[in-house]
């Protein structure tokens, strides 16, 4: 039995799919009533509900803490920091010693964004918890159900793709590869416990913004015009997105801070042990399958 937070989100749903494939039983936290799923027991509550968190942890072998706030800067502290502390305290109260924490590569440069700073503070809480912890810092995550990289697919369809400054490079990972890693980490042990890992798709030195944009275009059957935007242009675009979509804006002012940073390639020395996990999904194939999922589900 594994306790999972954030199970209704993009990564969480992929984790439930992968856990079902591997026959793992899940107890999952959810704020709203969920459709019944085989091998999943839903617990009603959120990261502020101590009674629900205690129920989530009871009898679990490990907790995989996926939940977090990504877009709403006003909730970074309560969702990412205090929420993580509440999960830690519930795990300790129920005797669950194994703790797998999904952080973000942005925690590596906490001065660049409020989001990254909140994830870095959460990591410190995990490290000081006294639990048997492992931290995973994913880079950009793409795949079915994703709403962030979806913007790139939609723009590719239009034939014009604005991207961050030309000098930037970044790593990415398919959500199913990330889900496999999270489950592979559950047993812990030597070389895994008390470690921070940065997984990716295995591409050396990541992707330039231009390369990734063209790969997404290829997945969409297009050859888009790729336009590199300066930080100032990204800031103007973020303000426009806020005016149009309000709190649902995907390009926030806070995101501009780390999007403009030139190096979001995973650290070679912090990749997970190859004997434990390796990425299976080639990125071009994964992008093409993701594009097809968006088509099949009426997103594009």
Q: What is the mean pLDDT of residues 266-285?
A: 96
**Residue reference for tokens 């494939």:** 21
In terms of pLDDT, which residue wins out, 65 or 239?
65
In the structure encoding, which two tokens stand for residue 234, read together? 């990204």
pLDDT above 90: percentage of residues in the chain: 81
Is the pLDDT confidence value at 2 over 90? yes
Average pLDDT, stretch 101-105? Answer: 98
pLDDT at 249 over 70: no
Token duo for residue 108: 């590596």
Residues 6+ away with beta carbon under 8 Å from 124: none
- What confidence tens digit (pLDDT) does each residue in 3-35 have? 999 999 999 999 999 999 999 999 999 999 899
Beta strand 172-174 with 98-102: parallel, antiparallel or unpaired? unpaired
Token reading at 287: 């992008």
Does pLDDT of 234 surpass 80? no
Supply the pLDDT for residue 165.
80
Q: Is 236 a residue whose pLDDT tops 90?
A: no
Contact status, residue 228 vs residue 164, Cβ threshold 8 Å = yes
User: CA neighbours within 13 Å on the CB side: how many for 32?
Assistant: 3
The dihedral region occupied by 251, where left means phi > 0, alpha psi between -120 and 50, and beta the remainder, is: beta
Cα–Cα separations (whole angstroms), residue 285 to 93, 140, 175: 44, 16, 13
Look at residue 122 and tell me whether its pLDDT is greater than 70.
yes
DSSP 229: P
Say what the pLDDT of residue 71 is: 81
Strands 169-170 and 207-208: antiparallel
- Taking the C-alpha atoms of residue 121 and residue 297, their distance in angstroms, rounded to an integer, is 37
Distances in Å between the Cα of 21 and the Cα atoms of 17, 176, 179, 186, 290 are 6, 11, 11, 16, 19
- Does the pLDDT value for residue 83 go beyond 70? yes
Report the pLDDT value the prediction gives residue 250, as an integer from 0 to 100. Answer: 66
Predicted confidence (pLDDT) at residue 241 exceeds the cutoff of 90: no
Per-residue pLDDT reduced to its tens digit, 177-195: 999 999 999 999 999 999 9
The average pLDDT across 284-293 equals 98
Residues 49-59, mean pLDDT to the nearest whole number: 97
pTM attached to this predicted model: 0.93
> What is the distance between the alpha carbons of residues 124 and 300, in angstroms, rounded to a whole number?
40
259 versus 65: which is more confidently predicted?
65
Averaged pLDDT, 46-57: 96
Please, what is the average pLDDT of the chain?
93
Task: Go through the domains of the chain in sequence order and give each one's CATH number.
Answer: 2-139+174-200+267-279 (3.40.50.720)
Confidence of residue 228 (pLDDT cuts 50, 70, 90): confident
pLDDT for 174: 98
Q: CA-CA distances (angstroms) from residue 265 to 43, 275, 295?
A: 36, 22, 30
pLDDT for 49 equals: 95
- pLDDT, one tens digit per residue, over 131-160 is 999 999 999 999 999 999 999 999 999 998
pLDDT band (50, 70, 90) for residue 294? very high
Q: Residue 207 in contact with residue 137, Cβ under 8 Å?
A: no
């Amino acid at each position: 039995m594994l306790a999972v937070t954030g199970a209704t989100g993009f990564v969480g749903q992929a984790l439930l799919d992968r856990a079902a494939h591997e026959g793992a039983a899940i107890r999952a936290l959810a704020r709203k009533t969920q459709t019944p799923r085989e091998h999943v027991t839903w617990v009603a509550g959120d990261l502020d509900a101590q009674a629900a968190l205690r129920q989530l942890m009871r009898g679990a072998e490990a907790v995989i803490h996926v939940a977090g706030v990504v877009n709403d800067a006003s909730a970074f502290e309560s969702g990412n920091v205090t929420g993580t502390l509440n999960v830690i305290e519930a795990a300790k109260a129920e005797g669950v010693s194994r703790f797998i924490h999904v952080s973000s590569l942005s925690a590596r440069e906490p001065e660049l964004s409020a989001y990254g700073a909140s994830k870095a503070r959460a990591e410190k809480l995990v490290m000081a918890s006294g639990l048997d912890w492992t931290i995973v810092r994913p880079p950009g995550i793409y795949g079915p159900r994703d709403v962030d990289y979806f913007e790139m697919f939609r723009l590719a369809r239009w034939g014009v793709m604005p991207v961050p400054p030309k000098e930037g490079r970044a790593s990415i990972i398919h959500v199913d590869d990330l889900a496999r890693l999270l489950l592979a980490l559950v047993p812990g042990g030597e070389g895994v416990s008390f470690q921070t890992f940065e997984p990716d798709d295995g591409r050396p030195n990541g992707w330039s913004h231009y390369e990734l944009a063209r790969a997404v275009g290829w997945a969409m059957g297009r050859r888009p015009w790729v336009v590199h935007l300066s930080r100032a242009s990204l800031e103007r675009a973020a303000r426009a997105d806020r005016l149009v979509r309000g709190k649902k804006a995907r390009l926030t002012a806070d995101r501009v801070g780390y999007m403009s940073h030139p190096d979001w390639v995973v650290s070679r020395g912090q990749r997970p042990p190859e004997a434990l996990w390796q990425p299976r999904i080639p990125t071009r194939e994964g992008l093409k399958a993701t594009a097809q999922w968006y088509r099949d589900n009426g997103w594009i």
